[in-house]
Amino acid sequence: MYKLLIVDDEPQILDGIKRTLDWEKLGFGQIETSETCEGAIAKAVEFEPDLAIFDVCIGKERGYTAIRKLNELRLPAAYIMMSGYSEFEYALEALHCGVKDYLLKPVERGKLQTLVERIIVEDLNGTLEDAHPDDRNVDPVLGMRYDSLSKLTNRILLMVKAEYDQNLNLKTVANRFRMNGTYLGQLFLKETQMKFSEYLMVYRMLRARDRIQTTDEKISTIALSVGYANLNYFYTHFQAYFNKSPSDLRRRE
């Protein structure tokens, strides 16, 4: 059984994360929480968590400072960072400390589930119910294993998975990494053989297809949920990619 540590200075956030997923089903038999960095370090040393979820700002302290300390102590944990929009630069700092992924607050259940499952397979060498482990190691758009891609590209892919439902583009990504957009786009294209805009579009289409097939939500609602404010634009992309309309796909399923 795995062990989980959740660190946030807001008790309601701690309770929310504990209730968001069926942690026991995922294999977590022990869950500890802390509202301070000092307390988090002490608890981590005491029970050695397999996964630790840190808020980027814990009071006046920074979560990545505690993670640096735990790395110095060589604790074999995987880390997820939670951050708000205004704290993203702090989240980038955390990535430099070896944090696997980050989630924007308020944390969405589906995104947290996806990240935790990936860490279970890739970092904890575990397995998941109703899923083949190799599927979790392969990007759904590129068909490439994550461990075959550079750290930079993996971070870009994580940003897409975390923010595909928002106004995301290459310029936004480049600004966050403090890189030139044209240069970053060239690096991404060279490694993936796909433009960033194409990758984002395909990922959104795949997520839209999943929701069309598994929910009764209106197509307009689904379009908004995957980042399309313009419904006609969504229909055009969907038809071009799947060679059928969203309504046709739903009727045939």
Identify the helix (H) or strand (E) that includes residue 211: helix 196-214
List, in order, residues 6 or more apart from 140 with CB less than 8 Å away: 203, 206
Domain boundary among 98, 133, 168: 133
Sorting pLDDT into bands at 50, 70 and 90, what band is 253? Answer: very low
CA 106 remoteness from chain centre: 13
77 closest CA partner among 46, 111, 112, 103: 46
Mark residue 41 as left, alpha or beta (left: phi above 0; alpha: psi -120 to 50; beta: remaining): alpha
Residue 50 token pair = 């397999």
Tell me: do 127 and 29 sit in the same domain.
yes
Tell me: do 126 and 10 sit in the same domain.
yes
Tell me: do 120 and 156 sit in the same domain.
no
Tell whether 139 is covered by a domain. Answer: no
Given a contact cutoff of 8 angstroms between Cβ atoms, the answer to whether 159 and 176 are in contact is: yes
Tell whether 144 is covered by a domain. Answer: no
| Alpha carbon distance 119, 137 (integer Å) | 10
As for how many domains the chain has, the answer is 2
Please give the model's pTM, rounded to 2 decimal places.
0.56
Tell whether 235 is covered by a domain. Answer: yes
Domain boundary among 80, 100, 133: 133
pLDDT by residue (tens digit) across 196-244?
999 999 999 999 988 888 888 899 999 999 999 999 999 999 998 888 8
Domain boundary among 100, 133, 166: 133
